[in-house]
Each structure stands twice: as C-alpha cells, then as structure tokens.
Structure 1
Amino acid sequence: MLESLYVKDFAIVGEAEIVFGPGMTVVTGETGAGKSLLVDALLLLAGGRADAAMVRHGCERAELSATFDLAGRGDLRAWLAAEDLDEDGACQLRRVVRSEGSSRAWINGRPVTLTQLKTLAAGLIEIHGQHEHQALLDRAQQLALLDAFGAHEAEAAEVARTARAWRDTGARIAELSRGEDHAERVEWLGHQVEELDRHALAPDDLAALEERHRRLANSGQLLQGCATLAERLDGDGEYALLRMVARVQHEIAQLATLDERLAPVGELVDTAQIQLSEVNDALARYQSALDLDPDSLAEAEAQLGKLHELARKHRVRMPDLKAHADGLRDELETLRGAGASIASLREQQQRQRKAWDAAAKALGTRRAAAAKTLSGAVSSLMAELGMRGGRFEVQLETNGEDDPDPQGAERCEFLVSANPGQPPRALRKVASGGELSRISLAIEVAALGSDTIGTMVFDEVDSGIGGAVAEVVGQKLHALGARAQVLCVTHLPQVAAQGDRHLRVSKSSDGASTETRIDALDGKPRQEEVARMLGGIEITRETLAHAKQMLGKRG
C-alpha cells in the first residue's frame, strides 16, 4: 500500500508531501490545476520515461519519492533481499530528474537501474489511465489474471514444474550427447588415461623423483666435495681439524693441571672432537653409498622429460597430472555409460511429457471455465458502467508450441466490443481512453481479490460519462477500495463523493510564477468542493445541500 508521496520542483508543484491511507482516495480540482500530476509522479517512480519538461521552470532538478507498506507481500520482500535492496522491511522508491533530462533512481537509498525500478513497481502499483501503459494490456498479465481469477495456482504450478523437469532432462541429454562421436571420444580418453596412469606421479612421488634426479646429476660434484671435506677433517695435512683438536685437547689438559677451572673447557673440546669424528664417519658413509650411475641418471631424465611432455600436452602443471588423469577417467566412465544413460533419460523425458500433457489439459479445462465466467461478469459490469450492449470476451488459443511450456498449452487475449454490433477487438487496440479505463475498472471489479497489487490508480476513468453511470463508477471504485488501496483522479462529484479520503489540487499565481497546491479535505471544505463540482463557480445552498446528501450516501 502507498503510504506517502513527496514531490519537489516537479512541473508546477513547488513542494508537497501527501500521506495516503487505505480505501479509496479521490483527487479533484479545476481543469488545468494539475490533478494528474500525482499520477505522473507515480508513473515516473514506476520507471516511466523522464523528461526535462518535468522539472519546474528555473530549478535544477525535480525530486520524487514514495514509501510503500509491504505487509503481506513476502514476494516483494524476498525480491528486495535477493537484489540486496532490503532495509528492515522498508520500501522507498526515489527518482531525481535533472533539468537537462537525465535521471537517476534509488530503492531504499541504493542506486538502481530503471529495469529494477520497473520490476519492483510492477508489484506495488497498477495505473489505469487514458494514455498510460497498463499491465492489463500485456497478454502474459492477462493470463496471470485469468489464473488468479479462477484460482488455478496449484494447476499452473504443476504445469510449470513438469515443463521445467522436461527441459532439465533435455539439457542433460544434450550434455551427454554433446553432438560428438562417442566412440571416438571414448577411444581418445582411454588412450590418455592409460598414458597418464603409466607415467603421472602423485605430488610427493614427483618431488622424490626430482630430488633423485638432482642428486644423480650432481653425483660427481658431491663425491668431490665430500672427499675435500674428509681431507680437511681427518687428512694427512698439518691443519686437519681432528689433528688440531687433538693438539688443543693436549694443551688444555696441561693447563688444567695448573688451574682446575679450565677442566670444563677441556670437556667442551672433548665434545667437539666427538662431534667432528661423527661428521667424518657420516661423510664416509655418504661417500660409500653415493655412486656415479649414468644409467640411473638417464632413466630419471627420461621420466622427467615424459612428465614435462604430458604437462605441455594437457596444459597442466606436472604436480596436477595425477588429478587430471582422475578427471579424464571420470569423463571416460560417464561416456562409456552415456548410451545407457541417454536411453534412460529419453524414457524419463517421455514420462515427463505425458505428465505435462495431463497437467496442461487439466489447467486448460479450468481456464476455459474461468474465461467464460470472467467474460460474463465483465460484460455485465460494462453495461453498468455506461457501455450497454458492449461485450467482453476472454479468448483462449493454443500457443503453437510443440514443446512443453511452463505457462501451459494456451495463451490468453482479452477482447472487447464497446458498442453493440461491433466485433470484439483486442483490448490493447481499443482507441478510446475513457472506455479503456472503464473496461479496466470492470475487469478489476470482476476479478476482485484475484491479484496481489496493493495500490490501483485510476486517472479520469469517468471521462465521457455522467449521471447514474457516474454514480455506479464511484460505487465500483469504492467496492474495489475495500480490498485494495484505490487512488482516483476525477472531475465528477458522483465519484468524488464515494471516496474515503479527498485531496484537492489547486493552482495559484502571483504573476511571476505558478504553483500547484494539494490539500486534504474533510468536513465542510470537502462538502464545498463537491458542491463546486456540482454547481460550478457559484455555490448555492441547494448545491451545498445536494453535496451533503451525496457525501452521506457514500459506501
């Protein structure tokens, strides 16, 4: 439900904030006062085309914002959350139009695209006017309204579910088929897997091979280095470490006889001598185990060369070859069973097609019955709304698709003949704006409670009518307001008197500028406004009494 609307420097409105409530709100005012500016503002907030002419003369930009109550609209709250636009249950639409014609939009303070703005607004507000685009003119919306009117939610959901299942199975078949020669692919994968299984190594094994290759490739240098170290540790030279340590041991032992405090130093030297001896023994063992083996080196180089070749061929790193082989093996096993899988999936898809056929037939039967009922109800209401002899038809026709369609086997078109003797034509091709508005009203009243739109706006739906028909239009709008919030721009007192709330739009000028003002009316001011609509400029006691009587009859 629309809670408030704020406009600033919009057309001839300087600044205005309007608070709305439930039920039916009427908007009145003299011709040219700007009654339809409220509708224009809502159209712009719903994603309508922005124009520099919308900015008040002499101002840099026009600002508009509206807040909505989303109580009972879990679908819209879920959409806001999915788009990261939720804000503690709030719903505020804002739009700014600059004087050069550019515009920006926000939802709950976050910048959005016009597509996002239109998507959200389509679930919040529905505008019925003589010239504006209306959701009822869209064939998909017409089908949705018919299903809502006939309470086909369960049948429609089953049709959509079976159609999606059929398509998902088809996608799986296409994925397995891939449009290739399976035998050729299987043969190629088998060769690759066999080759990789023969040569690929796990990361730890690869690291061990690289370490072994490095050792074999440098065995000569390692042997030479070990021999040099052994000579420096325990060679025949005067400066071999173990000989020098032995001399140090002897000299410290001599000194320790003179001062016992040097005894611990001697022990440290003894420890060093032991460790150096262990180093010498370890080097000797390493040298004896190390061998110059050209054959082993050649074998390691060949193995690494093959791994490099496979890595380039499969475009993966050498450590990843084993995992790549596992992936190819999975694909190979899948393809080897693809023939049987595809056959099984085709049988499953046939069963899904039969399930969709049955669900679509059941939905089609219910749609046909609902179409007949809705056609009769709207035709009757058209007669009450001044289009006596007019006819409304809900036409169902096959969608022409061979494949299961999530929307069912048929499409819907609303047809209307506004005058006797005229053949029905598509609602979207009806030329008269006033007739289109009243037909829309008839459809909404006939389908009362069928859709979830919380706010409905009717702009000049009473165009071209008067008298008793105008009173009926007001009554129908009031009845609609009991279920949804209704905002109606009108010039007829019979309609204005039916409103639960009344807004008056007036225009004033100081000679230099013109400004529109919007006032909420109640009590005597409202009675005077209805009297003005009845009697024109001069308001008499008779017109005031008539206005009072009309206001007393509302509801």
Structure 2
Amino acid sequence: MLNALSIRDVVLIEALDLDFGQGLGVLTGETGAGKSILLDALGLALGARGETSLVRQGTAQAVVTASFDPPAIGTPVAGLLELNGIDFDPGEPLLIRRIVKADGGSRAFINDSPASASLLRDLSGHLVEIHGQHDDRGLLNPRGHRALLDAFGRIDTIPVALAHRAMHAAQTALDEARAELDAAARDREWLDHAVAELTTLAAEPGEEEILATRRQGMQRGEKIAGDLQAIADLLDGSEGGLARLRQAARVLDRIAGDHEALGEALAAVDRAISDGALAQEKVDAAAFALAFDPAQLEADETRLFELRAVARKHRVQPDDLAALTQELTEKLERIESGGAGIAALERALAAAKSDYNGQADLLTKARTDAAARLDAAVKGELAPLKLDAARFRTVVAPLGEDNWGPAGKDRVEFEISTNPGAPFAPLIKIASGGELSRFILAMKVSLAEQGGAATMIFDEIDRGVGGAVASAIGERLARLAERTQLLVVTHSPQVAARGQHHLLIAKSHDGTVTRTGVRTLDEAERQEEIARMLSGATVTDEARAQAARLLEAA
C-alpha cells in the first residue's frame, strides 16, 4: 500500500507531503489545477521517464519519494529486491526516491541504495496499478491474462506443472541416451580394443602404490646386500680381519711360553676373534633377512611400468583404471543392448507425454468453464457502467506444441467489442479514454478476489458520464476499495461522495509564481467541494443540500 508521497519542485508543485490511508481516496479539483502533475510525480517513483520538463522552473532538480508498506518475505517485491542486492527490513517501510536534474539525467534509490529506473518499473507492477489514458500494464497486458483466469476459476495448475516436469525429464533422459549411444557407436572399434586391454590388465585400486613401495624396498635391499657382502669379506675373507687375528693368535701361542704379558696379549686376541666371529654371524643373518629376488624385482617393475603406461594412455591415474574398466565395459554393453534401453526410454517418454496431455486437457476444460463464468460476471457489470452495447469474452486458444509448458497448452486473452456487429479485438486496441477505464473497473470488480497490486489508481474513470452511470461507478469503486487501496482522480460528485479520504488539488498565484497544492478536506469542506462539482463556480444552497444527500447515501 502507498502510505506517503513527498514531492519537491515538480512542475508547479514546490513542496508537498501527502499521507494516504486504506480504502477509497478521491482527488478532485478544477480543470487545470494540476491533477495530472500529481500522477506524473508518482510516475517518477515508479520508473517513468525522467523528463527535464518535470523540474520546476528555476530549480536544480525535482525529487519524489514514495513510501510503501514493508515488503513481506516471499513476496514478488521482496524477491526483486533480493535479486538486485537491495537491502530491506520486513519491519520498515519501502522507500523509493527519484531525482531528476534540470540539466538532464536522473537517479533512483530504494532504501537509500542506488537503483535503476528499470528496477523501479519492475517493482511498480507489484506496488501500483495506474489505469488511465495511456496505461498499458495490468489487465491490458495479455501475458497476465492466463494467470488471472486461473486465479478467478481457482484452478489448480500444479498437476500440469508436475506432469510437464516429468515429461521434460523423460525427454532429456532419452536425448542423452541417444547421444551417448551414437557417440559410443562411432567409437566402437576403439572401445573394443580399450576394454580388451583394460580387462587383460585387470588393474586393482591401490596396486600401483603397493608395487612402487615393494620395488623401492627391493632396490634398497640390493644395495644393502652388496654392502653386507663387502663387510663379510672384510671380516672373514682370505685377507679379512678374522683370518689375520687367527694368524696372530697362532704366533702368540707359539712364543708366549711362561711370559705373563704375552699370555694376556693372547687372551685379548682370542676375545677379538670371538667378537669378530659373532659379528660375522650377525652380518650373515642380516644378509639372509634382507635377501631379495631379482626376478621378483623385474616382474614388479614390469607390472608397475605397464600400469602407468596404460593410465597415461587413457589420461587417468593408475588407481582409476579399475573404475575406467567398469565404465567402458558398461558403455560397450549399452551399445550391444542399446536398442532395448532406447526403447524403454521411448516408452517412458510416451507415457509421460500421455499424462501431460491428459492433465493439460483437464486444465483447458477448467479454463474454458472459468472463462464462461468470467464472461458472465463482466457482462453483468457493463450495462450499469454505460457499456451496455459492449461485449466481453475470454479467449482460450491452443498454443503450438513448441510453446507447451508447465502452465499448459493454452493461450488466454481478454477481448471486447464496443459496438453491435463490431469484431472482437484485444482490450487495448478497441477501448479508449474513460471507456477503457470503465472496462478495467468492470473486470477488476469481477476479479476482485484474485489480488493484484496493493494500490490501484484510476485517472478520470468517469469522463463523459454522469447521473446513474457515475453512481454505478462510485458504487463499484467503493466495493473494490474494500479489498485494496484505491485512489481515483474524478470529476464526478457521485464518485467523490464515495471517498473515505478526499484530497483537493488547487492552483494558486501570488502575482509572481504559480503553485499547485494539495490538502485533505474535512467533512464540511468535502460537502462544499462536492457542491462545487455539482453546480460549478457558483455554489448554491441547493447544490450544498444535494451534496449532503450524496454524502449521506454513500
């Protein structure tokens, strides 16, 4: 809902701050007072073109700020703000500010965050509907007619959306299977060779690491074995340490005799021989423990190099060879049994299409029935609005198969004929002026429960009518205002009397500058304004009495 509008330096408006309430608000004033300026100012906040002619003469810029209800989480307004990175608080008003420079250019802000005029236009469709001389949004846009009809008929479109999703998934699965089969068939010769090679190789996950670790261990063992042999030769070879010690022992044993010192030397040599023999045993034991099989080393190296070569060939890691074998084997099997798989997917798609068509046909019937009810509802509103010669119809027509979608197979459009014998045509191409606005009103009343923008504005909906027709317009506006905020620019006293809030737009001149101002009328002022609307420049007591009767009847 539009809560407030602040205007600075827009055409003849110098400074204006307006508050708006719920229900029906009416705006009246003499011709030329500047009612259109107020709508132009609001239009700036809603993304209209920032014309420099809107800037009040002699000022640098025009500024308009509109305040709306806080955007609720999950609503289209909140979604647009989130999509465009605009911060908002669900507990704070939504503020839209537009600045137009006198020397050209404009800027827009949403909650003080810079925004584009196009974003303002996107938001405006969810915030305000303006129905006037040149409006081409809301009910006049055929793109929204299908959703409006579905809402009017309380039609559940979810089954069709689910069926369309299933049909799309089945089509995708079939397309992918066919593409894979075609690609695989082109590579059949390579695939046969690859599967044979990989199957023969029979690689296992983790095998490369096992082989590499074992190979490294055997390579180290080979070097150690050589070193141990050298040690053994040093200890017990023909020229080794033990042999020399034994030779020394024999010499000492021969010459020791009764010499105590030589006896001690011999004992030390004997101990060295014993220790050397023990060392020899330890070296021999180590050599035996670290013994390696050269044939096993060669076999492991051959296997390791083969794994790595095949992995490089297929551009995978050696550990992935087993998975690749499985993948290519399955692909080969699908080629060999591909016809059966494709046939199964084709049957699944046919079933999904049948289900979609069935659900869509039910939806078409529901729309056709709802269209008849909507046509009757609108027809009942036309005659009281002086549109008794007009005819309205809701067209439910089939779409081409390429345009079928989650919302079904139907094109929906509202059409009218304004004169007997005249052909039906889209609303925007036939009606004009006040006639167009009354058509919109008739449709809005018929669709009253189906939601829409929180604020609706009708600009001179009563143009060219009076009396009973104006009363009928006022009565329908009041009914519509029970469900949404309504602002109406009117020349009709019957419509003005229905207002819950009355704004008077007036022009003043101080001898130098002309200004447009707006003020809220109290009950006495309302009666006087409605009396003016009834009688013209000279307000009579009879007009005042009639105005009082209109207000009392409202």
The TM-score bracket by the shorter chain reads 0.7 to 0.9
Change (3 A) 1:66 1:431: same
1:158 corresponding residue in structure 2: 159
1:249 aligned partner: none
CA distance in 1, matches of 2:134, 2:107: 22
Aligned to 2:145: 142
SS at match of 2:376: helix
| Alignment partner of 1:24 is 2:24 | yes
Cα distance in structure 1, aligned partners of 2:456 and 2:421? 32
1:285 corresponds to: 286
Superposed counterparts of 1:69-148, under 5 Å? 75-76=75-76, 79=79, 83=83, 87-88=89-90, 92=94, 94-99=96-101, 100-106=104-110, 117-148=120-151
Aligned partner letter, 1:358: G
Structure 2 vs 1, CA of residues 281 and 486 (structure 1 numbering), >3 Å: closer, same or farther?
farther
Sequence identity percentage: 37
Separation in 1 of the partners of 2:236 and 2:287? Answer: 16
Tell me the CA shift for residue 440 of structure 1: 0.9
Q: What value does the CA root-mean-square deviation take over the aligned residues?
A: 4.2
Q: Does the CA-based 8 Å contact 1:226-1:287 persist in structure 2?
A: no
Task: Render the CA deviation track for 1:489-545: whole Å, top value 9, x for unaligned.
Answer: 222222111111122233445566554433222222222322333333343433333
Alpha-carbon distance in 1 for matches of 2:165, 2:423: 39
Which deviations, in whole Å up to 9, do the C-alpha atoms of 1:159-215 show, x marking residues without a partner? 333223222211221122227425445765565455456658667543343444555
Whole-angstrom distance in 2 between the partners of 1:196 and 1:82? 53
1: distance between equivalents of 2:205 and 2:10? 70
Matches within 5 A, 1:59-458: 59-60=60-61, 62-68=63-69, 75-76=75-76, 79=79, 83=83, 87-88=89-90, 92=94, 94-99=96-101, 100-106=104-110, 117-151=120-154, 153-154=155-156, 156-178=157-179, 180-181=181-182, 182-184=184-186, 188=190, 191-192=193-194, 195-196=197-198, 204-214=206-216, 285=286, 289=290, 293=294, 302-318=302-318, 321=321, 339-401=339-401, 404-430=404-430, 432-458=432-458
Give the TM-score normalised by the residue count of structure 2. 0.76
Give 3-state SS (helix, strand or coil) of 2:450's partner. coil
Deviates more, 1:197-206 or 1:36-45: 197-206
Contact 1:196 1:325 in 2 (8 A): yes
Deviation of 1:441 after TM superposition, in Å, equals 0.9
Q: 1:219 to 1:368 in 2, by over 3 A?
A: same
Shift of the alpha carbon at 1:481? 0.9
Q: CA 1:150–1:166 in structure 2 vs 1: closer, same or farther (change >3 Å)?
A: same
Post-superposition offset of 1:473 = 1.2
Give the equivalent residue in structure 2 for 1:244.
none
Whether contact under 8 Å (1:34, 1:506) holds in the other structure is yes
The alpha-carbon distance between structure 1 residues 403 and 524, as it changes in their structure 2 partners (threshold 3 A), is closer
Change (3 A) 1:202 1:414: same
* 8 Å Cα contact 2:471/2:494 also seen in 1: yes
Q: Which sits farther off after the overlay, 79-88 or 524-533?
A: 79-88
Equivalent-residue separation in structure 1 for 2:81 and 2:288 (angstroms) = 72
* C-alpha distance in structure 2 between counterparts of 1:474 and 1:342, whole Å: 65
Question: Which string of whole-angstrom CA distances, capped at 9 and with x for unpartnered residues, describes residues 224-268 of structure 1?
Answer: 788899999999999xxxxxxxxxxxxxxxxxxxxxxxxxxxxxx
Q: Is the 8 A contact 1:176 1:335 kept in 2?
A: no
Q: Deviations over 1:448-474 (max 9, x none)?
A: 213344322212212222333222211
Could you tell me whether the CA contact under 8 Å between 1:448 and 1:480 is conserved in 2? yes
- Change beyond 3 A, Cα 1:320–1:423: same
> Per-residue CA shift, 1:361-406, capped at 9, x if unaligned?
3333333333233223323422221223122222232223377543
Are the structure 2 counterparts of residues 320 and 144 from structure 1 closer, same or farther at C-alpha, using a change threshold of 3 Å? same
Pick closer, same or farther for the CA change 1:282–1:11 going to 2, 3 Å.
farther
- In 2, the alpha carbon distance for the partners of 1:545 and 1:157 equals 57
Give the deviation of 1:439 after TM superposition. Answer: 0.9
* C-alpha deviation, 1:54, in angstroms: 4.3
CA distance in 1, matches of 2:225, 2:176: 60
Cα deviation, residue 486, structure 1:
1.4
Match in the other structure for 2:546 = 546
CA contact (8 A) 2:2 2:66 kept: no
Q: After alignment, is 405-414 or 198-207 more displaced? A: 198-207
User: Conserved in 2, the CA contact under 8 Å of 1:393 and 1:415?
Assistant: yes
Larger-Rg structure: 2
More moved, 362-371 vs 203-212? 203-212
Tell me if the contact between 1:356 and 1:404 (Cα under 8 Å) persists in the aligned partners.
Answer: no
Distance 2:55 2:77 in 1: 32
Q: Is the 8 A contact 2:107 2:114 kept in 1?
A: no
SS state at 1:36 partner = helix
- Are the equivalent residues in 2 in contact too, given 1:5–1:65 (CA < 8 A)? yes
Q: What do residues 29-55 of structure 1 show as CA deviations (whole Å, max 9, x unaligned)?
A: 333333234444454444444444445
Q: How far apart are residue 11 of structure 1 and its match? A: 4.6
Matches within 5 A, 1:400-549: 400-401=400-401, 404-430=404-430, 432-508=432-508, 515-549=515-549
1:47-101 CA distance string (max 9 Å, x none): 4444444455533463433312567x95447746974766335562524344232
The 1:226–1:17 alpha-carbon spacing in structure 2 relative to 1, beyond 3 Å, is farther
TM-score (norm 1): 0.76
Count how many residue pairs are aligned between Structure 1 and Structure 2: 511
- Which residues of structure 1 form unaligned runs of 5+? 239-276
After the TM superposition, which of the residue ranges 217-226 and 297-306 deviates more from structure 2?
217-226
Counterpart-to-counterpart distance in 2, 1:228 and 1:547: 129
For residues 108-165 of structure 1, give each alpha carbon's deviation from its aligned partner in whole angstroms, at most 9, with x where no partner exists.
56556666555544334322121022221222312222222222x22x3323332232
Instruction: Give the Å deviation of 1:23.
Output: 1.5
Amino acid at match of 2:498: Q
1:282–1:505 CA distance, 2 compared to 1 (3 A): farther
